[in-house]
Each structure stands twice: as structure tokens, then as C-alpha cells.
Amino acid sequence: MKKIFLLTIVVFTGIFISCETMPFRYVRNESWSTHSSKKKKFITVSLLGVDVDRAGSWDSIERETAALAPLYFWNRKCKIVTADEKPVYAAKINLREREFSPGWNTRRSLVVEVRVWSFEDVPREGVPVYNQKLPVAVGRIVVIGDVSFSSSHTTSRLLSKAVNKTARQLSAIERQKNKRQKT
């Protein structure tokens, strides 16, 4: 009987944790240290901006994303610098939230997209899309469900994943460049 009771508690605890429907408040923490040693080699990136396409107020989401993005890039050995510092790459971040109704339920589609160009190939305002170069790396995360960008937890988690995917591609590009230079 004790084993069945213990198993029941373990199963229900697992369900609560996996669905993020815990009956108690919880706090999620993150921290960064931007103190780097001279030995670390960073890929330099200029952040072109953050665009949020969402119904309702979006300015706080835009500010939060713009503040967190350099830290997530830093975790992946990419340093955000100004255009004056002659970065190698330039990044643009897009967040989109759409609502749709399959049947009686309202669901949301969340997209976080990080696009990176070589700094000299950055898209210019007013130039048609078909006359612009493609990005060298793109990281995109799509989530469909009941979540919203209104939750900082959701926004930071999706941004982190999109930056990780993009930075992984940039690292691969840099490794290939280094191999070519050595031969």
C-alpha cells in the first residue's frame, strides 16, 4: 500500500512539474558574468534592433528582448558591439505572436527569429527584399499553445533558444573561415 501511495505522489508531482501547472509559486533565476579573460575569442555582432509584431502593447517586450539579447549572445561567445567598432556580423531579432481559433479554443503561435548578416551585407531601408542578400545564419523557434510573450519566462526561454541556434551556425562559419585561412 505504501508503494502505491508513493508512486501516486511521484506521478502527480511529475505531471505538475512537466505541465508547469505547479500549485505553488516558483522563481526562475538567471545570471551572467561578462568578465572575460583575454584568451577568449568572441565573434563581434552589432544588434540592428528588435521588432515585435503582436496585438496590444509590445514596447516592454521589445525593451526586454533588446536588453537580454546581448547576454544570450555573450553566453555563446558572441559580443554585441556598436557599428563604429566594425563588427563582423549584424543581427536582427523578430518576435511574432498570432492568435488563431481551431474550433472553440483560442491558441497562440509564437515565433522568435534571429537573423544574422555579414556586416557589409546588412539590408538597407527602402531596398526591395529581392535585391538584398540572404542572412548567413538564422535561428528560429516556433511554439504553438496557450503561452504568450506577456510571460517574461516564455520570452527569455524562446529568445535564448533562437540565439543559441544562430550562434551555433556563426561558430561553424567562423571555424570554416579559420580552416581556409590556415591552408
| Range from 5-19, 32-46, 83-97, 157-171 carrying the lowest mean pLDDT | 5-19
With CA atoms as reference, report the closest residue to 69 among 88, 87, 95. 95
What confidence score (pLDDT) does residue 134 get?
87
pTM of the model: 0.75
**pLDDT over threshold 70, residue 183:** yes
CB 48 within 8 A of CB 90: yes
Determine the Cα–Cα distance for residues 95 and 111; give it in Å rounded to an integer: 6
The CATH architecture assigned to 42-182 reads: 2-Layer Sandwich (3.30)
**pLDDT over threshold 70, residue 39:** no
| Burial tier of 107 (Cβ tally within 10 Å: 0-12, 13-18, 19+) | middle
pLDDT digits (tens, 9 = 90+) for 4-18: 766 666 666 655 555
Rounded to 10 deg, the angle between the 59-75 and 152-182 helix axes is 40
Q: Which amino acid is at 20?
A: E
pLDDT digits (tens, 9 = 90+) for 64-119: 999 999 999 999 999 999 989 989 999 999 999 888 887 788 888 889 999 999 99
